[in-house]
Structure 1
Amino acid sequence: MGYFKDTIKGISWMGALRGTTRAIAFIKIGFLARILSPFEFGLFGIASLVLAFLEILTETGINAFLVQEESDIKEYINSAWIVSLVRGFLIAFLILILAIPVSTFFNSPESIRLLFLISTVPFLRGFINPAVVNFQKKLQFNKEFNFRLTIFTFDAIVTIFLAILLKSAESLVWGMIAGSLLEIILSWLLVRPLPRFNIESVKVKKVFQRGKWITLAGIFDYLFHNIDDALVGRLINTTSLGLYQIAYKISTLPITEGGEVVSKVVFPVYTRIYGDRERLRTAYFKVLGSITLVTIPFGLFLIIFAEPFVLLFLGSKWLEIIPALKVLSVFGVVRAISGSTSALFLAIKKQEYITLVTFVSIAGLSMTALPLISRFGMLGAAYASLIGAFVSIPVMFHFARKVLYEKG
């Protein structure tokens, strides 16, 4: 029962964190939607697509590795930090190189300035002390709550303040920069141990060896969540991309965030009990049932009250997103439920299962996205995402059954 109590306590803290940050995020979106145009959101969407892709492409899996490690992670901190520094510099450099080709692809010369600015974000993030993962590893979710909430609130305040002044998508990037700077400062002031500039090739090799599946899974996950965005921006226009991304955020945030809270908490718990198959089964089904009961009502609410919600929260210029919003609400429920199973696979070091499940999702999305978007626009993109989520469910539960019931 000890780990179950830890799980409930962790879910309470992380639920409070996610609930508070998502409330702030909703308020931020509401403010920004009335200050900035869909076109400005589309410009930010292009920049964030590139940043997210390069971050995933260079993902090392260090954080997951540190949580999975049963021993003290102190010996890995130096190597983890240096790898993060190199990765941050590499991502920033690649964004600068790709800025013009990306703007050409999306037929959006206005996005170049935003791409140049957002290149500073990964560079700064490389300096964050990787020992912050100890909050999760040691189930110190109260500290995680205070740490993350402070950063998120600061980011939101800076973004809204600058949006009022600049009336530009640059305010969103400056908010990210401000949040990254504060995270660096807090991670060095409040977290121990502190990293030093000392790399050990043996430890780096061990991290990369285990992290390769996480990297591949991350690439597939990125493609699944962003192919539709890229096609909307390419086939329609930047304004449509801004509309679609807001629909996606609103419809999935309150649903998938609940699932992510639970997944983040149960991941370290699963790592401690995976040797006891009976306890693991019990924990998994409790988590799966809880997520299902919580997410379905949220999805139904957004479907039923989509129009009054958009009018009240975003304003009349965003009414075009309503059809896609309803479809994406169902998508959010499916993704939240599947996320709890991903935490199970990650905890037992079966990262390849996550990769394969996500690959099936991409296949379903890829085969339907182009014809559906060409015919139905944003609504077609939403349908393609939903199809991709549904086709992977049988594969996901096949692997879950294998983990929970089969020996070896």
Structure 2
Amino acid sequence: MNLKSKVKSGLKWTFIDQILSQIIFLIFSIFLARVLTPSMFGIVGMVTIFSNFAILFIDLGFSAALIQKKEVTQAHFSSVFWLNIGIGFLIYALFYICAPLISVFYNQPELKLLIRVICLSFIFTAFTSVQANILIKEMHFKKKVIINWIAMLIGYLVAFIMAYQGYGVWSLVMMTLITAILNAILYWMVSKWIPLFIFEWNKIKELSSYGLNFMGEASVNYWSRNFDNFIIAKVLGSTDLGIYTRAYSLMLLPLRNISTIVTKVMFPAFSQKQDDVALLKKYYLNIIQYIALITFPLMIGLSLVSKEFVLLFFGNKWSAMIPILSILSGLGAIQSIVSLNGLIYNSLGKVNIAFKVSLFTNFILIIAFIIGVNYGLKGVAWSYFIASLLLFFPIYGIAIKQLNISLFEIYVNLKGVLLATLSMIITMLTLNHFFDFSLLLGLLLKIVVGGCTYLLLLFIFEKKMLLNLKNKVVHFKKSEVTKSKDITD
């Protein structure tokens, strides 16, 4: 199978994975939110702020380096594997020892045991990091997708059953742990690669320049995305953290479904073509146009129906989430494009630039969060939105410059989508201002009328793009039918 076919197959399977995964996440999160309280989600959030950050250190970015590096040997894979195992156990021991300190820091005594249990996932993650990245490097996304489905679905089912049995916060803890365990078992069952008893420091050193810069950028970027959670947990408490993290998770749904799919599949593909910048520029402009086509109306639309959505699906006890979801969803439209910056830097091997940019970005965001938390939960959300908007032009400009693209080219490329989205906003705000509907009717009318307005204006402004998209879909379906016939014959 050539690279183009692998990319198509990867996009298909990763898209299916993301869509199904997020549908499952949405369904179970709504059910769990109706059984559990915001405070319970917040308590687990206090743990995951630190535990998710620690996971970044398990392989020090070397697994990503294995994907980016064109020529790797068994010695590279095995050396990274054994390094991961050692770091995984070391980090777990550190968290086990520090659990009482974290508990005192948040003034939450129950965190001590929660941390020691949930952080066992570090060890299982360490055992599977290389196997997972080998599948990505070889673009075998179908296997990875199936593993993800099985582990996630069973994890959610366990959480769902435990929540209804009255186990409270422990249902969320066990969901994380069981998912990690199942992932580990399934990756070892599926992967053909088995580590040898080899550890060579020179192989680690070969990967260190890329890997450590990648980890540094990922670490700094992590805190830009999670410092808001950290400061909310410390200053405002577990209930506000639970509300904020639920809103943030909902905001991320379209991003995970679209931008993450593209990044996962195109990273190995872009890495293989990293010397042809002109070709990457062409692909990138097409990619962001199709992403914006979907994410802009979804994110803005979610912002405009946040009241109806939250009250209908989550209930009145989550009403404080409405303004937070509305603000963060608007931010999500911007992030759907900016989130591809990593694809540019990582595939071109310019993670050193990404690291420097992240340091500056995160410095500004942390200051914004420190100021915003003084004005409550809304203050944090608004500070995030305003700071991100101000940072967009310089930060995004640096990234696209690596592909010889200007901000004006981006505007011309997205102009039709922007105008169609603006028309949708005006239509939905008009409906909201002049009519007073019930929650369900209001949600349905806003979605239908706003969606039709968007599609009509998009057809007017971007008819050529829509026809190209239609032709690609038709061509893809024909190729899949041909493959099926070849298999049966």
The TM tier, using the shorter chain, reads: over 0.9
Partner AA of 2:403 in structure 1: L
- Does 203-212 or 281-290 show the bigger shift? 203-212
Aligned residues: 404
2:455 maps to none
Assess, with a 3 A threshold, how the Cα gap between structure 1 residues 144 and 304 changes in structure 2: closer, same or farther.
same
2:403 maps to 404
Pairing of 1:138-217 with structure 2 (within 5 A)? 138-217=138-217
Q: How far is 1:73 from its partner? A: 4.4
Rounded Cα–Cα distance in structure 2 between residues aligned with 1:144 and 1:200:
28
- Does 301-310 or 139-148 show the bigger shift? 139-148
Assess, with a 3 A threshold, how the Cα gap between structure 1 residues 363 and 174 changes in structure 2: closer, same or farther.
same
Q: Deviations 1:54-96 (Å, cap 9, x if unpaired)? A: 2235551122111112124433221121111112112211211
Asked if the contact 1:292/1:337 (under 8 Å) is kept, the reply is yes
Q: How far is 1:20 from its partner? A: 0.4
Q: Deviations 1:130-158 (Å, cap 9, x if unpaired)? A: 13322211222222221222222122122
2:352 maps to 352
Asked if the contact 2:59/2:126 (under 8 Å) is kept, the reply is no
1:76 maps to 76
Tell whether 2:305 aligns with 1:298. Answer: no
Assess, with a 3 A threshold, how the Cα gap between structure 1 residues 289 and 114 changes in structure 2: closer, same or farther.
same
1:289 maps to 289
SS in 1 for 2:402: helix
Q: Deviations 1:200-225 (Å, cap 9, x if unpaired)? A: 11112222232111111111111101
Assess, with a 3 A threshold, how the Cα gap between structure 1 residues 73 and 289 changes in structure 2: closer, same or farther.
farther
Assess, with a 3 A threshold, how the Cα gap between structure 1 residues 384 and 356 changes in structure 2: closer, same or farther.
farther
Rounded Cα–Cα distance in structure 2 between residues aligned with 1:273 and 1:356:
24
SS in 1 for 2:197: coil
Asked if the contact 1:30/1:313 (under 8 Å) is kept, the reply is yes
2:252 maps to 252
Tell whether 2:131 aligns with 1:124. Answer: no
1:322 maps to 322
1:383 maps to 382
Q: Deviations 1:321-371 (Å, cap 9, x if unpaired)? A: 111111111222222211222111100111122223322321221222122
Structure 2, unpaired ranges of 5+ = 406-489
Assess, with a 3 A threshold, how the Cα gap between structure 1 residues 136 and 124 changes in structure 2: closer, same or farther.
closer
Q: Deviations 1:288-311 (Å, cap 9, x if unpaired)? A: 111111111111221111111112
SS in 1 for 2:320: helix
Rounded Cα–Cα distance in structure 2 between residues aligned with 1:100 and 1:201:
35
Q: How far is 1:282 from its partner? A: 0.5
Assess, with a 3 A threshold, how the Cα gap between structure 1 residues 45 and 6 changes in structure 2: closer, same or farther.
same
2:235 maps to 235
2:96 maps to 96
2:220 maps to 220
Assess, with a 3 A threshold, how the Cα gap between structure 1 residues 132 and 52 changes in structure 2: closer, same or farther.
closer
1:64 maps to 64
1:107 maps to 107
Assess, with a 3 A threshold, how the Cα gap between structure 1 residues 306 and 363 changes in structure 2: closer, same or farther.
same
CA-based RMSD? 1.9
Rounded Cα–Cα distance in structure 2 between residues aligned with 1:330 and 1:151:
32
2:444 maps to none
2:392 maps to 393
Assess, with a 3 A threshold, how the Cα gap between structure 1 residues 388 and 52 changes in structure 2: closer, same or farther.
farther
- Does 105-114 or 41-50 show the bigger shift? 105-114
Rounded Cα–Cα distance in structure 2 between residues aligned with 1:197 and 1:213:
27
Asked if the contact 2:300/2:333 (under 8 Å) is kept, the reply is no
Rounded Cα–Cα distance in structure 1 between residues aligned with 2:162 and 2:13:
31
Q: Deviations 1:218-239 (Å, cap 9, x if unpaired)? A: 1111110111111111111111
Assess, with a 3 A threshold, how the Cα gap between structure 1 residues 122 and 232 changes in structure 2: closer, same or farther.
same
2:454 maps to none
Partner AA of 1:65 in structure 2: A
Partner AA of 2:391 in structure 1: S
Rounded Cα–Cα distance in structure 2 between residues aligned with 1:21 and 1:28:
11
Structure 1, unpaired ranges of 5+ = none
Asked if the contact 1:22/1:253 (under 8 Å) is kept, the reply is yes
The percentage of counterpart residues that share the same residue type is 25
Asked if the contact 1:85/1:123 (under 8 Å) is kept, the reply is yes
Asked if the contact 1:299/1:333 (under 8 Å) is kept, the reply is yes
Q: Deviations 1:102-124 (Å, cap 9, x if unpaired)? A: 12222222222211211211022
1:362 maps to 362
Tell whether 2:349 aligns with 1:374. Answer: no
SS in 2 for 1:192: coil
Q: How far is 1:6 from its partner? A: 3.9
Rounded Cα–Cα distance in structure 2 between residues aligned with 1:276 and 1:128:
33
User: What is the TM-score with the length of structure 1 in the denominator?
Assistant: 0.94
2:133 maps to 133
- Does 154-163 or 41-50 show the bigger shift? 154-163
Asked if the contact 2:63/2:130 (under 8 Å) is kept, the reply is yes
Rounded Cα–Cα distance in structure 2 between residues aligned with 1:383 and 1:238:
20
Assess, with a 3 A threshold, how the Cα gap between structure 1 residues 355 and 386 changes in structure 2: closer, same or farther.
farther
Assess, with a 3 A threshold, how the Cα gap between structure 1 residues 72 and 192 changes in structure 2: closer, same or farther.
farther
Assess, with a 3 A threshold, how the Cα gap between structure 1 residues 203 and 99 changes in structure 2: closer, same or farther.
same
Pairing of 1:20-31 with structure 2 (within 5 A)? 20-31=20-31
Asked if the contact 1:78/1:197 (under 8 Å) is kept, the reply is yes
Asked if the contact 1:365/1:387 (under 8 Å) is kept, the reply is no
Rounded Cα–Cα distance in structure 2 between residues aligned with 1:139 and 1:8:
10
Q: How far is 1:402 from its partner? A: 3.3
SS in 2 for 1:199: coil
